Amino acid sequence: MAIKLIYVGAVRAGDLRVKALEQWYRDVPIRAERGAILDRNGVVLAASSTVYTLYARPVEIPLKEQAARILSETLELDYETLKGKLDSRSSEITLKRGVDKQKMLEIVDSGVPGIYVSEDIKRVYPYGDFLTQVLGFTSSDVVGQTGLEAYYDKFLQGTDGYVLTAADLVGRKLPEGETYYTEGTPGADMYLNIDVNVQSIVENAVERAMLNHSAKAVGAIVMECDTGNILAMAQAPSFDLNEVPRDDVKTLLEMSRPKLISDVFEPGSTFKIITSALAIEAGLVNDSKRYYCGGSMSVDNQKIRCWRPQGHGSQTFAEGVKNSCNCVFMQAAMELGVDRFYEGLAAFGVTEKTGIDMSGEGAGLTIPQSSVKNVDLARIGFGQAVAMTPIELLCAAAAAVNGGYKVTPKLVAKIEDESGILLTGEEPRGERVISEKSSEILRGMLEAVVLEGSGKNAAVDGVRIGGKTGTAQKYENGQIARGKYISTFIGFAPADDPEYIALFMVDEPVGAYYGGVVAAPYVGEIYLNMFEYLGYPS
């Protein structure tokens, strides 16, 4: 008996005390305020507003029919269902969540006994349909479901508080009972690298492209070339984060998926940036070397066409870049050879995730190196037989033109609470993949694409822009889908010392489909408006 008394009184005292408190007290939760999401300038992109959850303890309500009538009318609830709940033997029922202050006060002033109120949190997005796939949304319990809301949920969530009220066995508040209040801890605030003004410029461009080309989808990213900090990321179609279409699961899943980081596509001629970088770095390019394009090449007894049926004739590599000549890049890829080419692709991270701080990132796809034939190598050289995510392609292009350093794309700049900074998005400089000299040569070639070649629709007065167009056929069920294309353009500025790099892609445009016609103009517009906002040049 003595041993048992010691065991119960000392060893199990804590557990038994908790169980006793659970029986003696009824608790009403107080939802902690979720941390805000802000842009780099402190503009609020996601915030929390106070709403209320109403509870009822049936045993404290003597006139249940009268109470059910008042509550159902004020809260817009079904009378019969509510009366059934009030007639039940439940110690406590939830009447309604997300009640605004006015409705809550009406219930409190109605005089219905046995009603309890707790503060709750509702997520609010001031800009509505804006950064939808990046920000993501929360559940009805304010738990992150998609996007940054989900990825950084543990930081944004606070610690809930609660109110404990002494009650009897059936849940009635004791007349002389005590009430205890435990305050919650708010979640941390998150500051993004996103600039709300640049994001607005990009969102507008995406919407215009969607309408102007009757496209299936449009997406765009603007990133700092050296750091990987993302200033803007937008895609359409989309939806208002304040009106999440939860009743249509298929549409919700489709429109909330961050396709710019999750979906792979055949990049087409934008991939020539990578092939060019590898060829220049390998010393295969010089001013005297000539390449011939007769409109097609035969590789492994297969005829592979250039986009220009009549061919480009004799040209230097730089002219081949400007003309986006497939034959030049087929020859360059085969000169590099499988081993050297694949080593270069690995260095640029073509088949690896970039490490962007958001869930759902995909990774590029290539033919296994051991299975590559000459015809495959030739096609990869100009952007076929390889697939990449848009963010993966953009990061590889950034490394090619920023002096040769890989970058890790980052959406979040820092997360902080009252105690200080909890996390920063700063990344150390990535490894070098090509030399500064090779990168400089490539920048000059890509600036010529905008000045004189297929990307001239991206040109902007007063701003030096380099870039590359891309037009890729789509595949369905393993075969080329006739008449379906993805039009892309990657542009960086200023061309001689890039600060920013942008990708714009239009999925299945109707009518014109070349990247230089469909995508390039919007990158030019983005830079025009963006540099006007930034005051460049000063």
∠ Cα 308 457 205 (to 5°): 120
Helix (H) or strand (E) holding 525: helix 520-534
Residue of 343, 389, 401, 333 whose CA lies nearest to 369: 343
What's the rounded Cα separation, in Å, for the pair 163 and 378? 70
- Is 314 annotated as catalytic? no
Taking the CA atoms of residue 224, residue 259, residue 505 and residue 240 in that order, the dihedral angle to the nearest 10 degrees is -90
CA distances from 533 to 75, 77, 195, 522, 526 (A): 47, 50, 11, 16, 11
E strand residue ranges, 382-444: 386-387, 412-417, 420-424
Which of left, alpha, beta for 331 (phi over 0: left; psi -120 to 50: alpha)?
A: alpha
Evaluate the CA torsion angle 496, 261, 247, 56 in order and state its sign: negative
What three-state secondary structure class fits 217? strand
Q: In which order are the strands placed within the sheet that holds 179-182? A: 25-30, 161-166, 179-182
Tokens of 82: 């509510």
Q: Cα–Cα distance between 495 and 524 in angstroms, integer?
A: 13
Torsion angle, alpha carbons of 337, 339, 345, 347, to 10: -130
Residue matched to tokens 């002096």: 403
292 membership: H or E segment, kind and range: strand 291-293
Q: What is the distance between the alpha carbons of residues 460 and 525, in angstroms, rounded to a whole number?
A: 8
Residue 254 in tokens: 């489709």
- Report the C-alpha gap between 269 and 326 in whole angstroms: 8
Distance CA 119, CA 52 (A): 5
Label the pairing between strands 93-99 and 44-56.
Answer: antiparallel
479-493 and 37-38 strand pairing? unpaired
Buried-exposed string 169-206: b where 16+ CB fall within 10 A, e elsewhere = eebebeeeeeeeeeebebbbbbbbbbbbbbbbbbbebb
Q: Choosing from 48, 118, 269, 439, which is the catalytic residue? A: 269
Q: Give catalytic residues, as residue numbers.
A: 269
